Amino acid sequence: MKLFAPGLFALALAACAAAPQKPLVKNDTLYQRLGGAAGVEAVVDASLRQIHGDLRINLFFENTDLPDLRRLLIEQICAATGGPCTYTGRSMEEAHSGMNLTDRDFDIFVEDLVAAMTEVKVSPALQQEVLALFAPMRPQVVGQ
Ligand code: HEM
């Protein structure tokens, strides 16, 4: 009995060639699933709009350089979600030092972030993944 019929061998080779190659760039990161740079920028822009219109916390930002904050938030979220960015801002403790932020302030900030993500049509499942990245920062932000 012939083990390898030539036709079968050719078929096996063709199947190998057609098999999906391992991607060189990771394309299943949260960053990619949020829509890459444009997706992260949309989330940050919508969040800053929400915060700006939120009388409960917008006074904290009255002396803030908003274009700079926008750039740093984009970098931070891009890096934290597996995107090709490096966060160049201050540590969370340092950035929020002297503000004496409370748990309630933090909850309101998260509420605005959720409203922003809903506005730009981030799915509830992806929203949960983003919130899971932010939640551990609470002790670095509150009470500084
Ligand atoms: C997980 C939650 C938070 C994250 C990831 C975050 C992230 C950041 C980042 C990246 C910066 C810029 C850092 C830098 O200037 O080097 C920043 C600054 C700032 N954050 Fe937050 N933040 C959070 C929560 C909050 C909350 C709850 C408030 C107030 C309600 C707040 C108010 C501010 C203000 C006012 C600044 C600007 C400080 C300045 O002008 O020097 N942040 N935040």
Class of the domain covering 28-141: mainly alpha
Separation of alpha carbons 144 and 139, rounded Å: 9
Residue 57 CA to chain centroid, in angstroms? 22
Q: Average pLDDT by consecutive 10-residue portion of the chain (144 residues)?
A: 50 50 70 98 98 98 98 98 98 98 98 98 98 98 98
Check residue 17 and give its pLDDT.
Answer: 53
Check residue 12 and give its pLDDT.
Answer: 47
DSSP character string of 22-40: PPSS---SHHHHTTHHHHH
Check residue 138 and give its pLDDT.
Answer: 98
Closest residue by CA, ligand 1 atom 1 = 134
Check residue 65 and give its pLDDT.
Answer: 98
Check residue 20 and give its pLDDT.
Answer: 55
Residue 36 tokens, joined: 């890459």
Pocket lining: 106 vs ligand 1, CB cutoff 6 Å: yes
Check residue 13 and give its pLDDT.
Answer: 44
Check residue 27 and give its pLDDT.
Answer: 73
Pocket lining: 122 vs ligand 1, CB cutoff 6 Å: no
Pocket lining: 89 vs ligand 1, CB cutoff 6 Å: yes
Domain boundaries, the chain: 28-141
- Give CA separation, 84 vs 32, 34, 101, 130, 140, in Å: 10, 14, 31, 17, 24
